[in-house]
Structure 1
Amino acid sequence: MRRRALLGLAATLPLAARAAERRLVTVGGAVTETVFALGAGSQVAAVDSTSLFPAPVRALPQVGYLRSLAPEGLISLNPDLLLLSDEAGPPQAIAVLRAAGAPVALIPDGAGAAAVPRKILAIAQALGLEGRPLAEAVADDWARLDAPVAALRPVRAIFVLSAARGAPLVSGRGTHADALLGAVGAENVLRDFTGYRPLSAEAAALLAPEAIVMMQHALAEAGGVDAVLRTTALAVTPAAAARRVMAVDGAYALGFGPRAAHARRDLAALLHPRANLPSLPARPWV
């Protein structure tokens, strides 16, 4: 009788109260950031290796890299919900999770102004939380920069994913890096292919980028700015002559999560140091 009464009480509890008891596993840096920004960070029991922010996630158990997940390890965590970026994989692992009846919510990944609130709202819906205030705040911050960035002279730029071995691997269309460059007053000069490709010296000389953008860890792995600018394909560029290499935090700049607007402003300020860009509000999730 007491058990039935307790079960009945549980069924009448507000959704937020029942949600607080959940164990979440989050995969994808932007997914994890958004869960914390929505106030559900205390429910996160484990994360993937791309989830580096906010700081408390670094103390949580890791489930590996988002593209090479082991379904058995995820199931063994006994999560109430697996919140996975749709970039997670391999596909066989997702299929195994679904076949095993694991509670999976795939969150569409994306880049650019429209993708950020869409991602936030999808995660909030999966959690049964109200996501509109967060989504609208991030969208408003992003919109504050639209007119000032549109007024800038576009800087001819390339995004170098890796320069540690051989020809630099650079970003074309359809990548988060391409969307980032377009959002910060830069022109990605590599628009004749999708995804990532090695860059030849001949192509680099012809395209003549004025700035090189890299992730901080990729720049360090390549040996620093001097080593990158000695690369045959990059040494012939105006960017090398001006030593214009901008290092960004990959999760911050490329995640297109709750910090997207602030990341946009920071890189725009690096590329356009004389620009009068508006300040953005201090946000607790940034």
Structure 2
Amino acid sequence: MKKIFSILLLTVAFASCKKEGQNTVETDKKDTLSTAKIVSLNGAITETLAQLGEENNIIGVDVTSNYPEGLKAQNLGHVRSITAESILALQPTVIYASNKDMNPDLLEKLKASKVKLELIDQEFSAQGTANLITTVAKSLNKENYQPIIDNINAKLATVKTLEKKPKVLFIYARGAGNLMVAGKDTPLERIITIAGGENAANDFSDFKPLTPEALVSSNPDVILMFDSGLASIGGVDGLLKIEGISATNAGKNKKVIAMEGQYLSGFGPRLGDAAVDLNKLLQ
């Protein structure tokens, strides 16, 4: 699972530069700005830090940290291949990361460095996102983080219940030769459910290779992809050439949704925006 999910995270780095649903909630201006020198190795954490007023203190990030637009920080690469030396060369005072992503060797070296390390237990749900925001805020002694969470919840409350839940199949692509589908217990299954759809591949967990047989058995009404993934196979026309796609309801109706990767699956402060946008597209 870690290998496949790491590939998924890597893809986010090459996603379209389209930036959707910017969260305009601001934290209390009375919060004291920290002087921390921050390295963030997770896109959702980076977005949270920026929302909390720490954008200018972020000096290094991983490839999934592609938002907010214009973030001025050194891109250190993918968290599974980043070296401790490249992080420590920036002389950070605090390092943030998700415990789901961290390379064990990197984790050991960072702990040995004695630099403050904040490992966040990221859960892909609305409550998990609230917990992430709360944990990051408290680590920086930020008090007024609740408006960020309230904004997410307010937007989630506007997600419309669909009369008939469409069956949605998420396909991860890096060219036509590398196609995977998302099963249970993945960020994609969770966002599909939150947005009012039904994950079409619920007979397995994690990700597995796409096969014509799986397409026929799942028969999705909608195919969901990262916009970078759809572009890598030649757009909708290229997708329809993949064996089995045209036999599905989604293929017959050319019902394909593409969204920017980190925005769709990051489960950070823009979760509410992403869920609302996907819900509208599913309608």
TM-score bin, normalised by smaller chain = 0.7 to 0.9
Letter in 1 for 2:105: Q
Which secondary structure does the structure 1 equivalent of 2:65 belong to? coil
Cα deviation, residue 163, structure 1 = 6.0
| Structure 1: runs of 5 or more not aligned | 1-14, 273-286
Task: Name the CA distance, whole Å, in 2 between partners of 1:35 and 1:271.
Answer: 31
Q: Is the 8 A contact 1:183 1:264 kept in 2?
A: yes
Task: Name the CA distance, whole Å, in 1 between partners of 2:163 and 2:263.
Answer: 23
Is 1:37 matched with 2:48? no
Structure 2 partner of 1:12? none
Task: Name the CA distance, whole Å, in 1 between partners of 2:220 and 2:150.
Answer: 35
2:84 equivalent among 71, 78, 90: 71
Structure 1 partner of 2:271? 260
2:281 equivalent among 270, 280, 286: 270
Task: Name the CA distance, whole Å, in 1 between partners of 2:208 and 2:214.
Answer: 12
Task: Name the CA distance, whole Å, in 1 between partners of 2:148 and 2:276.
Answer: 18
| Structure 2: runs of 5 or more not aligned | 1-29
Deviates more, 1:221-230 or 1:126-135: 126-135
Letter in 2 for 1:134: I
Task: Name the CA distance, whole Å, in 2 between partners of 1:45 and 1:208.
Answer: 46
Q: Is the 8 A contact 1:117 1:136 kept in 2?
A: no
Letter in 2 for 1:68: S
Provide, for residues 223-279 of structure 1, a one-character-per-residue CA deviation record: whole Å limited to 9, x for no partner.
11111111003222111110111001111111111111011010111110xxxxxxx
Which secondary structure does the structure 2 equivalent of 1:144 belong to? coil
Letter in 1 for 2:44: A
Instruction: Flag the 1:217–1:247 CA change in 2: closer, same or farther, 3 A.
Output: same
Cα deviation, residue 16, structure 1 = 5.2
State the structure with more CA Rg: 1
Cα deviation, residue 167, structure 1 = 6.7
Structure 2 partner of 1:102? 115
Structure 2 partner of 1:201? 212
Map of 1:54-93 to 2, 5 A cutoff?
A: 54-57=68-71, 59-93=72-106
Structure 2 partner of 1:4? none
2:184 equivalent among 170, 173, 187: 173
Is 1:135 matched with 2:135? no
Letter in 2 for 1:43: N
Provide, for residues 174-224 of structure 1, a one-character-per-residue CA deviation record: whole Å limited to 9, x for no partner.
100000111112111111111100122122112211110000111111111
TM-score, length of structure 1 as denominator length? 0.84
Task: Name the CA distance, whole Å, in 2 between partners of 1:203 and 1:56.
Answer: 41
Which is richer in helix?
A: 1
Question: What is the root-mean-square deviation in Å for CA atoms of aligned residues?
Answer: 1.7
Task: Name the CA distance, whole Å, in 2 between partners of 1:108 and 1:139.
Answer: 20
The higher-RCO structure (CA 8 Å, 6+ apart) is 2
Which secondary structure does the structure 2 equivalent of 1:53 belong to? coil
Same amino acid, percent of matched pairs: 28
Task: Name the CA distance, whole Å, in 1 between partners of 2:168 and 2:66.
Answer: 27
Structure 2 partner of 1:117? 130
Deviates more, 1:85-94 or 1:235-244: 85-94
Cα deviation, residue 43, structure 1 = 1.1
Structure 1 partner of 2:9? none
Task: Name the CA distance, whole Å, in 2 between partners of 1:55 and 1:122.
Answer: 24
Q: Where in structure 1 do 4 or more consecutive aligned residues deviate above 4 Å?
A: none
Which secondary structure does the structure 2 equivalent of 1:227 belong to? helix
Task: Name the CA distance, whole Å, in 2 between partners of 1:86 and 1:141.
Answer: 28
